[in-house]
Amino acid sequence: MAVITAAYVKRLEIFGVKIIESHLHSNAGHVVIADVVHCSNGRGKKWQEERSLTLRSNKEIFEYLQAIA
């Protein structure tokens, strides 16, 4: 079963990811985040709440952080 730990939620915060909500349980949980959009003018990233993503495991968080790096 997929599990999310507080340490991985903290990694999202460190990377500046906008967290909309998070629910952590002993055997499950999820984190809803605003998706990132890379600005075409080269000025970095913009977080869009209307494009939310739900991450349900530490592995999904790790893969997301790799994708936006």
Model pTM above 0.75: yes
Alpha-carbon dihedral 30, 4, 15, 50, rounded to 10 degrees: -10
Is residue 9 left, alpha or beta, with left meaning phi > 0 and alpha meaning psi from -120 to 50? Answer: alpha
The structure tokens listed for 15 are 């990377």
Given a cut of 80, whether residue 22 has pLDDT beyond it is yes
Q: What is the pLDDT of residue 46?
A: 72
Residue 21's pLDDT band (boundaries 50, 70, 90)?
very high
Q: Is-contact 24 6, C-beta < 8 A?
A: yes
23 strand-pairing partners: 30
C-alpha 60/C-alpha 68 separation (Å) is 12
Residue 47 C-alpha from the chain's centroid? 11
Q: What integer is the mean pLDDT of 35-48? A: 70
